[in-house]
Chains A and B, each alone.
Chain A
């Protein structure tokens, strides 16, 4: 899962797709994940970091992760 190269993100979770003009807001954890994705982190690396830093059940996180990736895909933000 890789963000499209031209997608702009900010620390506060704002996402802007310059190719379409679409913009989105995301919560703090989603913004953190986006930040890792932007800096080229692999899916495994990002998941590991989140699980290390937050008190979350792996199964729950997997479900949330899939849900979030689906949202990013639908928003046309992923480089598929």
Chain B
């Protein structure tokens, strides 16, 4: 049975969001929630979906109305579907926005089931997800004519030196899902390989180092070949983990065109982030494509294009706001804040799986 709400009559929306880990390697959940609250105002209820009890945004009760724990991606799509069904019986979620790379496969798989439950989503296909995967990035670049760094995919440490001799040092060593290390010699590269293997599994990706300015682009593809919003941001402060801790919106037609070309080439559906390196001569390299909004996506709201709100509108088949212009020179400067919580709250989530 299709139980989609009559959206013309629905006054308030219930939106479920993952990626509540607002830590030093932040998930985008909190920024997405903030954008949604800015876009929809009072008429919104946010359901947090968390994997771990210490994901900071769970306890920001003015941002997240209710949180449920969900099974880890390794538990499979069946377990996820069953858990969401339980939650849906209580919450009547209208739209679900997954924000982790590692969970996307399962969410895409159960998207038709979610719709049956009345939960809309706006996600890329498995094929789209696969082609931009770090492991396939070189092939992806070649196929669509994008500049991407040379890379080698390795399953054993013994393959490292051969590839390193071709690419030279510094050499980027990247985890399957997250994390990248700039290594300066063979010992460094081996160390990074073992670390990433233990943390994220195999394969590990070796990528030629490209020197330049780090720029990220947040975008939203409509699934028809158009990027309806594109906001480029230059990183101003980068953490040890390579994350932008401060950044500024910039205007550069070449960057906008690149993001639009990406959406056109992939017919991308949903939020995306392009990690770009701009060489001194102006050449743009796509270093990575993230299949979801970035953790700095609230900057798109500040610059004049609310991408998370637009994604919800697209998911619900509503018209989106006009997003043709944005303001260059908008900055974000992230900060850390100690949120004080009683142990009872922590205990509730730990014991009952909801808060």
Q: Are A19 and B252 in contact (CB under 8 A)?
A: yes
Let me know if A6 is at the binding interface, CB within 8 A. yes
In angstroms, how far is the closest chain A Cβ from the Cβ of B252?
5
Chain B residues with Cβ below 8 Å from A19 are 250-252
Let me know if B183 is at the binding interface, CB within 8 A. no
Q: Are B213 and A18 in contact (CB under 8 A)?
A: no
Chain B residues with Cβ below 8 Å from A21 are 233-234, 236, 247-250
Chain B residues with Cβ below 8 Å from A60 are none
Let me know if B329 is at the binding interface, CB within 8 A. yes
Q: Are B329 and A16 in contact (CB under 8 A)?
A: yes
Let me know if A59 is at the binding interface, CB within 8 A. no
Q: Are A18 and B329 in contact (CB under 8 A)?
A: yes
Chain A residues with Cβ below 8 Å from B111 are none
Within 8 A of B (CB), among A5-23: 6, 8, 16, 18-21
Closest residue to B251 on the A side, CB-wise?
Answer: A18
Within 8 A of A (CB), among B114-172: none
In angstroms, how far is the closest chain A Cβ from the Cβ of B212?
11
Could you say which interface size class chain A belongs to? under 10
Could you say which interface size class chain B belongs to? 10 to 19
Let me know if B328 is at the binding interface, CB within 8 A. yes
In the complex, A6→B252 CA distance in Å?
10
Q: Are A18 and B328 in contact (CB under 8 A)?
A: yes
Closest residue to A8 on the B side, CB-wise?
Answer: B329
Q: Are B329 and A20 in contact (CB under 8 A)?
A: no
Closest residue to B278 on the A side, CB-wise?
Answer: A20
Interface residues as binary, A37-75 with B (CB distance below 8 Å gives 1, 0 otherwise): 000000000000000000000000000000000000000
In the complex, A19→B253 CA distance in Å?
9
Chain B residues with Cβ below 8 Å from A20 are 213, 234, 250, 252
Q: Are B251 and A6 in contact (CB under 8 A)?
A: yes
In angstroms, how far is the closest chain A Cβ from the Cβ of B169?
28
In angstroms, how far is the closest chain A Cβ from the Cβ of B300?
16
Interface residues as binary, A16-37 with B (CB distance below 8 Å gives 1, 0 otherwise): 1011110000000000000000
In the complex, A20→B248 CA distance in Å?
9
In the complex, A31→B328 CA distance in Å?
21
In the complex, A57→B250 CA distance in Å?
40
In the complex, A32→B247 CA distance in Å?
29
In the complex, A16→B328 CA distance in Å?
10
In the complex, A20→B252 CA distance in Å?
8
Within 8 A of A (CB), among B218-239: 233-234, 236
In the complex, A78→B188 CA distance in Å?
42
Chain A residues with Cβ below 8 Å from B249 are 21
Closest residue to B252 on the A side, CB-wise?
Answer: A19
In the complex, A8→B329 CA distance in Å?
10
In the complex, A20→B250 CA distance in Å?
6
Chain B residues with Cβ below 8 Å from A18 are 250-251, 328-329
Closest residue to A22 on the B side, CB-wise?
Answer: B234
In the complex, A19→B250 CA distance in Å?
5
Closest residue to B331 on the A side, CB-wise?
Answer: A21
Closest residue to A21 on the B side, CB-wise?
Answer: B234
Closest residue to B235 on the A side, CB-wise?
Answer: A21
> Which of B's residues lie within 8 Å of A, judged by CB?
213, 233-234, 236, 247-252, 328-329
A–B Cβ pairs within 8 angstroms, 10 of them: A6-B251, A8-B329, A18-B251, A18-B328, A18-B329, A20-B213, A20-B250, A21-B233, A21-B236, A21-B249
> Which of A's residues lie within 8 Å of B, judged by CB?
6, 8, 16, 18-21
